[in-house]
């Protein structure tokens, strides 16, 4: 995706990727330091949003459908999912009572529960076993559901328009 990009975008991507690799490596040294966990989650949110933006631009560019478009569409969904997971981790580590039903015993359990919660919310299934307890997490959770629906609708529109454009007789 970054083969034909400008030098600045490649540098930004490399810096964000390096930060994304460095933070987990440093995790054993800082373990549960709230400032470190905040910076870790913010860096991942910025990184995933940057990549998501590039995926969206890729989805809008070509006028045809192929396997790259389908894979990019799925990657966009997973990038949104991970972005929201790390965004919600900021709130969970700041206020452990911001959600009910999340296992806070280890960062790995918290991460898995948030992946589950975000995927259920992004797809608007909403089982209800994990629920937001604070007003700000309630708002973010509703925003996740709205963005999930918006992404699905826009994605279907993009794919249908590309399919219709590629199947027109010339």
Residues 15-38, mean pLDDT to the nearest whole number: 82
Range of the domain at 90: 7-166
**Is pLDDT of 170 > 70?**
no
Q: pTM for this one?
A: 0.83
Classify residue 35: in a domain, yes or no: yes
Classify residue 65: in a domain, yes or no: yes
Flag the least confident range among 80-89, 97-106, 156-165.
Answer: 156-165
Q: How many structural domains are present in the chain? A: 1
Classify residue 77: in a domain, yes or no: yes
**Is pLDDT of 32 > 80?**
no
Classify residue 12: in a domain, yes or no: yes
DSSP 145-167: HHHHHHHHHHHHHHHHHHHHHHT
Classify residue 1: in a domain, yes or no: no
CATH code, 78: 1.10.287.70
Supply the pLDDT for residue 133.
Answer: 96
Tell me phi and psi for residue 100, to 5 degrees: -105, 135
Pinpoint the alpha helices (H) of the chain. 7-30, 34-60, 67-94, 107-122, 135-166
Classify residue 113: in a domain, yes or no: yes
């Amino acid at each position: 995706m970054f083969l034909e990009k400008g030098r600045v975008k490649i540098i930004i991507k490399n810096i964000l990727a390096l930060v994304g690799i460095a933070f987990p490596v440093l995790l054993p040294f800082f373990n549960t330091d709230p400032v470190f966990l905040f910076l870790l989650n913010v860096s991942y949110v910025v990184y995933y949003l940057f990549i998501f933006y590039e995926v969206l631009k890729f989805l809008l560019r070509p006028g045809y459908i192929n396997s790259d478009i389908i894979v990019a569409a799925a990657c966009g969904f997973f990038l949104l999912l991970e972005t929201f997971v790390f965004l919600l981790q900021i709130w969970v580590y700041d206020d452990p009572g911001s959600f009910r039903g999340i296992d806070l015993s280890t960062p790995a359990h918290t991460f898995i529960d948030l992946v589950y919660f975000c995927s259920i919310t992004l797809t608007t299934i909403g089982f209800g076993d994990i629920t937001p307890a604070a007003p700000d997490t309630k708002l973010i959770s509703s925003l996740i559901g709205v963005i999930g629906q918006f992404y699905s609708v826009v994605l279907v529109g993009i794919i249908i328009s590309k399919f219709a454009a590629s199947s027109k007789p010339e």
